[in-house]
Amino acid sequence: MVILDTSIKNHIATSILHINSFNWPIIKTCHQAINMSTTEAELFAIRCGINQAVGIPHIKCIVVMTDTAKKIFNSLSYLYQIYSATITCELREFFNKYTNNHIKFWDCPSKENWQFHAVVDKNARSFEASVYFPCKSSWDFSKKHFCNNIVSQ
């Protein structure tokens, strides 16, 4: 199971990803990025989760649990095509290993409060975002402020 969630605080997207096998945690990762949408952060986390799950020996079934499952392979959404193309490429390797391999995407909204997803959701919301390059963040903010002023004029 690949269980993930994202949170955005102060323009910093945090993606938390847990990989469990038979209800036991195997891998836990955290990714942070500045000025990224929640959907982009979740798609990146899905890509990382699939990449890590495919590398685990003897995995035959991957279940990805997220609240953006419907947006992954939407061909009309041009902004996210790079993510879906990369995910599809990684899945091709997985399916070529064994013909019985399969993957499922489960839509798991936070309001469902499912045990495993609730833990990941709580981690994502409570994770303290740290800015490694505060000058870049303030520069991006000043650029945004400048652009907003132009639009309002």
What 3-state class would DSSP assign to 101?
coil
Residue of higher predicted confidence among 103 and 77 = 103
Instruction: Give the CATH number of domain 2-152; options: 1.10.600.10, 3.20.20.150, 3.30.420.10, 3.30.70.100.
Output: 3.30.420.10
Least confident segment among 14-28, 37-51, 69-83, 100-114 = 69-83
pLDDT at residue 48, rounded to an integer: 86
Rounded CA separation 65/84 (Å):
16
94-140 pLDDT, tens per residue? 898 888 999 888 887 767 777 776 777 777 777 666 555 555 545 55
Distance of CA 14 to the CA centre of its chain: 9
Domain ranges of the chain: 2-152
Burial of 86 (0-12, 13-18, 19+ CB in 10 A): middle
Residue 32: pLDDT band with limits 50, 70, 90: confident
Tokens standing for 132?
């490694």
Q: What are phi and psi of 21, to 5 degrees?
A: -130, 120
Contacts of 151 (CB under 8 A, 6+ apart): none
Q: Under a CB-based contact definition with an 8 Å cutoff, are residues 13 and 40 in contact?
A: yes
Tokens standing for 39?
């959907």
Q: Among residues 26, 76, 23, 71, which one has the least CA distance to residue 46?
A: 71
Residue 40: pLDDT band with limits 50, 70, 90: confident
pTM of the model: 0.69
CA-angle at 16, arms to 15 and 18, nearest 5°: 145
Q: How far apart, in Å, do the first and last CA atoms of the chain sit?
A: 50
pLDDT at residue 61, rounded to an integer: 92
Distance of CA 65 to the CA centre of its chain: 10
